[in-house]
Amino acid sequence: MREDILITVVLVTYNAAETIETAILSVLNQTYKNIECLVIDGASTDNTVDIIKKYNIRYISEPDKGIYDAMNKGWKQGRGEWVLYLGADDELVSNGIEALVNVSSNAEIVYGDTILKFLSGNTKRRGIQDLSVIKYYLCSSHQSFMMKKSVIDSLGGFNLKYKIYGDFDLIQRAYINGYRFRQTKEVISIFFLGGISTNNIMAERERYILLKDNKLAKHPLLVCSYFALKKILLKIKHLYS
C-alpha cells in the first residue's frame, strides 16, 4: 500500500461535544497513516474545543458563515494533496481512506459506499449508483468522496449561496468540467441522517435552484418533487420499522 500521498480530512464542528471525539478517533485510527486531521470549529460554546485539544491535531475555532464557509477554510488551510470532509457526528470506517487511495491513480475525485445511520438507530448501506445520476443527486454521500485540493481550488470552492447542497453543487460542477471520477465498492464512511439536509422542503427548494443554475438536469421541478416525496416516505418507513 502506497502512503506517499498526504490526505487532509477536514472535520467541521459546532457545539459537537457529544460526538466529536468519535469522529476524531475514526480519522486517527485509519489503516492509512499519512493523514492530516484538521478541525474547523465555528466558535463552539460547549466543551468541543477542550476535547479537540486532547489530540495532536490542528484546529481553527472562530465564527463562520455556515458549514460551507467552514469547508472552504478547510481546503484552504489543509496541507494534503487530497481532501475529504466529515461532519462532527459522522465517522470513517477504519480502512476508508486506504480504499480511496487504492483507486486514486489517474483520478481527481474518488468515492465509495456509505452506511446511513437513522435517528431510530437503524442503518442502511448506500451503494454507489451510476455516475450519470449526478445530474440529479449525489451518487454517494459527500463523506465518502475525496477530491484533489487542486480541483476544489480550480472550481472556486463551495458556493456560499447554498446552505444545504453546497457539496452536491461542487461535485456536480466537477463533473460538468470533465474531471475524472473513480469509485470503489468499499464502505468509506458512516453518515448520520439528522442534519440540516434532511429538512425536506428547504432541501428540495435548494436542489431546484442548483439544478437550474448548473443547467445539467432536465425538468428540475419534477426531479425535486420526486425526491421530496421519496424522503417523506423513507422517514415514515424508518420511524415505524
Q: What is the pLDDT of residues 194-230, one digit of tens each?
A: 654 555 677 888 888 888 888 877 766 666 666 666 6
Q: Quote the CA–CA distance of 167 and 7 in Å, as a whole number.
A: 18
Q: Is residue 115 part of a domain?
A: yes
Which amino acid is it at 231?
K
Tell me the pLDDT band of 104, cut-offs 50, 70 and 90: very high
Residue 215 lies in a domain: no
9-64 pLDDT, tens digit each: 999 999 999 999 999 999 999 999 999 999 999 999 999 999 999 999 999 999 99
* Helix (H), strand (E) at residue 196: none
Residue 136, domain member (yes or no) = yes
**Domain of 184?**
7-194
Max CA distance (Å), the chain: 50
CA angle 191, 43, 150 (to 5 degrees): 60
Residue 1 in domain = no
Is 221 part of any domain?
no
Phi/psi at 194 (5° precision): -150, 10
Total tally of structural domains belonging to the chain: 1
**Does residue 212 form part of some domain?**
no
Instruction: Kindly state the average pLDDT of the residues 67-80.
Output: 98
CATH number at residue 130: 3.90.550.10
Cβ neighbours of residue 21 closer than 8 Å, sequence gap 6 or more: 51, 54
**What's the CA gap between 123 and 62, in Å, rounded?**
34
- Whether residue 205 is contained in a domain is answered as no
- Comparing 89-103, 113-127, 196-210, the range with the smallest average pLDDT is 196-210
